[in-house]
Amino acid sequence: MQNTSHDPVGWHGTTILCVRTASGVAMAGDGQVSLGQTVVKGNARKVRRIGAGGAVLAGFAGATADAFTLLERLEAKLERFPNQLERACVELAKDWRTDRYLRRLEAMMAVADRDRSFTLTGNGDVLEPEDGVIAIGSGGNYALAAARALLTVDGLSSEEIARRAMRIAGDICVYTNYNVIVETIV
């Protein structure tokens, strides 16, 4: 994350990875939050279950307060459109893009249910991955590359791929630690 007018002190850190395989979907997030060169928290929970019965996995990167605002808004959309994750995401993205207050929020989200996975951005994007893998945050590209490579290994579950890829991201990215939370839907 870059320093911005909304983030003047230089908060960094987050790696969120979502992996979908025949065994199900797993979403993993590391626990590190850094301020400049200092780790200020090592056990942040950046992956959560939302929606009715916790049927949707959501992970966030960016400003925490902004991400929680978006999580609340997405939950409201899921209440309005139950069992329609794509519709709820599109409605949130429209609001995020057009609402003066929401437009200023600096966060990204990865969301998944039993059937679909999406990346949501403040640009109005609702992106579904071609290969079943989503990664966001400062260590996202490392986790994405590792997960894509691990998809070629026979017999690994989505959770095993997510855990191994997050370990690799933690080995490379100074803003990613090994305190990983994983939520799954099988």
Provide φ and ψ at 133, rounded to 5°: -120, 130
59 domain-assigned:
yes
Domain membership of residue 170 (yes or no) is yes
Where are the strands (E) in the chain, listed by range?
11-12, 15-21, 24-29, 33-35, 38-41, 47-50, 56-62, 107-112, 117-120, 126-127, 133-137, 181-185
Instruction: Provide the token pair at 166.
Output: 């997050």
Identify the pLDDT of residue 93: 92
- Domain assignment present for residue 140? The answer is yes
Would 6 be classed as within a structural domain? Answer: no
pTM for the model: 0.90
Q: What is the pLDDT of residues 99-111, one digit of tens each?
A: 777 777 778 899 9
Which one, of 29, 27, 17, lies nearest residue 54 by Cα? Answer: 27
* Residue 137 · residue 89 · CB < 8 Å: no
In a domain, 4, yes or no: no
Q: Is residue 1 part of a domain?
A: no
Domain membership of residue 153 (yes or no) is yes
Q: What pLDDT was estimated at residue 12?
A: 55
| CA trace torsion 32, 176, 51, 103 (10° rounding) | 90
Domain that holds residue 22: 11-185
Q: In one letter, which amino acid is 24? A: G
- Domain count across the chain: 1
**Residue 2 forms part of a structural domain:** no
Q: How confident is the chain (186 residues) per 10-residue block, as mean pLDDT? A: 43 84 96 86 93 94 85 95 96 87 82 96 91 95 98 96 98 94 97
For residue 181, CA distances in Å to 52, 69, 86, 144 come to 21, 21, 24, 17
Q: What is the CATH number of the domain that holds 42?
A: 3.60.20.10
Report the catalytic residues.
Answer: 14
